[in-house]
Every structure is written in structure tokens, then in C-alpha cells.
């Protein structure tokens, strides 16, 4: 059987290259450009006929990505691909998981139905599962959610002496506790109130800062960055500058600069979304899962 063809959408070339370096997969190509009116031109320069195809596209900032991605999946299938999978290290459109106010769109469901219609399977990392317990509640294809916690714990073990982990909100306890256990550290969790997209309050009361430890703020995603920024500010206000660590770094509206200005000593993320803070490679986590999907 021929080995799977891993094809990066624009911006995903580095991760696709790592996958090919680690695993028994072949790097493929997709030609893509915009016509003058911004419609998309796509071409598979090598035939995907009779191949298992993995399209790699991290879905932060997803609106401009979704149409080219669906066109690519449909075209691969038309050209004879056996199975077409989506590797989306970051999966967008997970936050609107219910109709909070009358008339709102539950975009998580619509996004899931678009992807499910054109792909045979999905692999992602630490999706924002809050009210949904599993991706299969909205995705009708096999959908695997992998966890980067062991990679974060290993990074801490290699790079930080006497770490003390802090979760910025109650939701973060699920991964902060696991990472703390895996790297033999203690942790605490803060209390957060979100008043709007860009307005977050974090109470300082729950904050413990044991002597001679290095505080590390840990979250699954830094999106607007307000959560991490406020959490860092609370710790720095006590005279203890924390390291800011997250799986996914979206860093909307210069969030990275704001977090550093709030008092972080360093910003570290996994390479689910390309950024200068990427220090944790997810390729070793993905390779066995890709093999399992075929
Ligand atoms: C909360 O539910 C999540 O774990 C993150 O804390 C949150 O999504 C971060 O969002 P932002 O960066 O926009 O504050």
C-alpha cells in the first residue's frame, strides 16, 4: 500500500515537514493563489489518485481558510483519493456551543457540518470542549481530540527548576492538574469572570505563590489574550513574574506583546499555530495517530 500523502495548506508547511521527518508519510503539494478578485485557484500538481490524503490546516482565523480547504478536499476526492482526512492542530469555531441569546447562530454545529461533509476523519489537539463532551456530538465523521498536556509537562521538566503551576480559571483545572502531576509540581487555580470579549477580571485571592518556585500560568488557548494578560498581571503584582504557557497561541490584537508587558518573563506555546513562541513540537504526538487513521 502506498504511504499517505500529507499536504499542507498555506502556512502549515513547517508542521507538515516535521510530520514527514518523523513518520512514514510523504509530503505533497497544493498550488494555491488568489485571482485578482480574491477568488481561489487550486491545483494538485501531483495526482492524489488512489492515495490516502491528509490535508493539514490549522483553523485559527478560520473564515478565509474554510472555503479553500473544502475546495481542496472535494478536488482530492474528485481526482481519485481513497480517503481524505483533515489534520487541524487548532480547531476553530468551538466557542459558540449553545444559543446563549435568542436568535444567535450556534456556529460550532454549522462549522462541524461543513467539515463533516467533505472529510473522512478529523484529528485535532485540545479543542475547546466545554458544553460538548466529545467532538462526535457535532462532527459526524471520526474525530480524534489529542492532548498536548504530556508534551507541556515534558517541556516544563526540561526547562524549569521548581515549577509552580497556576490555572487562570476554573475551566483550566482539568489540564493544569494533569500537567502538574506529570511534572511533579504543585498548582493552584484562580477565579475568572468574563464580562465581554475583551474584558476579563481575575481575582487575586486564590493565588498561592510558594517561595523559591517559578510560577507558570497554563492555559489551553490564548485567544484575545485577556485571560493570560490579567492572570500574569495578578502574579506580577505580587512581585513574582510568571512564565506564560499555552497549547494554542492565537494572539489576536497583539496579545503576545500585551502579555509580556503585563509582566511575563517568557511566552511558550506548542506549534499548533505558527508563532515565535512555538517551543513544543506536536509532531511526535500526531504521527502515531495519522498511522492509526489509515
Ligand atoms: C477559557 O475557557 C479558555 O480556557 C481560555 O482561558 C480562554 O479561551 C482564553 O481566551 P482569551 O485569550 O480570549 O481570554
Output the pLDDT for position 1. Answer: 62
Domains of the chain: 5-148+281-293 (3.40.50.2020), 149-271 (3.40.50.2020)
CA of 122 to the centre of ligand 1 (A): 23
Strands 84-88 and 191-196: what pairing? unpaired
Please tell me the residue having the least CA distance from ligand 1 atom 2: 171
Which amino acid residue places its CA nearest to atom 13 of ligand 1?
224
Say yes or no to pLDDT of 24 above 70. yes
DSSP-assigned beta bridge partners for residue 187? 165
Q: Which residue minimizes the CA distance to atom 5 of ligand 1?
A: 221
pLDDT in tens, 48-85: 999 999 999 999 999 999 999 999 999 999 999 999 99
Q: What percent of the chain has pLDDT over 70?
A: 100
Residue 193 neighbours by CB under 8 Å, 6+ apart: 200, 201, 202, 203
**pLDDT at residue 99 tops 80:** yes
| DSSP E strands, 160-213 | 163-167, 186-189, 191-196, 199-203
Question: Best substitution site from 166, 192, 199, 227 to test ligand 1's pocket, by max atoms within 8 Å of Cβ?
Answer: 227
Q: How far is the CA of 245 from the centre of ligand 1 (A)?
A: 13
> What mean pLDDT comes out for the span 27-42?
97
For residue 35, what pLDDT is reported?
A: 98
Torsion of CA 119, 122, 127, 132, to 10 degrees: 70
Closest approach atom of ligand 1 to CA 130: 2
What is the C-alpha to C-alpha distance for residues 137 and 133, in angstroms, rounded to an integer?
7
For ligand 1, atom 10, the nearest C-alpha belongs to 223
| Cβ(151)–Cβ(280) below 8 Å | yes
How do residues 223-259 score in pLDDT, each as one tens digit? 999 999 999 999 999 999 999 999 999 999 999 999 9
Instruction: Give the Cα separation of 160 and 172 in Å (integer).
Output: 20
Q: pLDDT value at position 291?
A: 83
CB 256 within 8 A of CB 284: no
Amino acid at each position: 500500500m502506498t504511504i499517505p500523502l500529507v499536504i499542507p495548506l498555506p502556512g502549515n508547511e513547517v508542521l507538515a515537514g516535521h510530520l514527514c521527518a518523523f513518520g512514514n508519510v510523504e509530503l505533497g503539494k497544493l498550488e494555491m493563489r488568489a485571482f485578482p478578485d480574491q477568488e481561489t485557484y487550486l491545483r494538485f500538481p501531483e495526482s492524489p489518485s488512489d492515495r490516502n490524503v491528509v490535508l493539514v490546516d490549522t483553523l485559527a482565523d478560520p473564515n478565509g481558510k474554510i472555503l479553500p480547504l473544502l475546495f481542496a478536499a472535494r478536488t482530492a476526492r474528485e481526482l481519485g483519493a481513497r480517503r481524505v482526512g483533515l489534520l487541524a492542530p487548532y480547531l476553530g469555531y468551538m466557542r459558540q456551543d449553545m444559543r446563549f441569546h435568542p436568535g444567535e447562530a450556534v456556529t460550532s454545529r454549522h462549522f462541524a457540518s461543513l467539515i463533516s461533509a467533505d472529510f473522512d476523519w478529523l484529528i485535532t489537539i485540545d479543542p475547546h470542549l466545554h458544553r460538548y463532551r466529545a467532538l462526535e456530538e457535532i462532527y459526524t465523521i471520526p474525530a480524534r481530540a489529542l492532548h498536548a498536556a504530556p508534551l507541556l509537562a515534558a517541556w516544563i521538566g526540561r526547562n524549569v527548576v521548581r515549577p509552580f503551576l497556576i490555572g487562570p480559571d476554573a475551566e483550566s483545572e482539568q489540564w493544569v492538574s494533569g500537567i502538574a502531576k506529570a511534572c511533579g509540581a504543585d498548582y493552584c487555580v484562580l477565579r475568572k469572570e468574563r464580562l465581554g470579549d475583551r474584558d476579563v477580571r481575575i481575582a487575586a485571592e486564590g493565588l498561592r505563590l510558594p517561595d523559591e518556585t517559578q510560577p507558570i500560568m497554563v492555559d489551553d488557548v490564548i485567544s484575545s489574550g485577556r485571560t493570560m494578560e490579567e492572570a500574569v498581571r495578578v502574579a506580577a503584582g505580587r512581585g513574582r513574574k510568571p512564565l506564560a504557557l499555552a497549547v494554542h497561541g492565537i494572539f489576536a490584537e497583539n496579545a503576545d506583546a500585551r502579555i509580556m508587558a503585563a509582566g511575563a518573563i517568557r511566552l511558550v506555546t506548542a506549534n499548533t499555530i505558527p508563532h515565535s513562541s512555538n517551543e513544543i513540537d506536536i509532531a511526535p504526538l500526531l504521527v502515531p495517530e495519522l498511522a492509526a487513521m489509515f
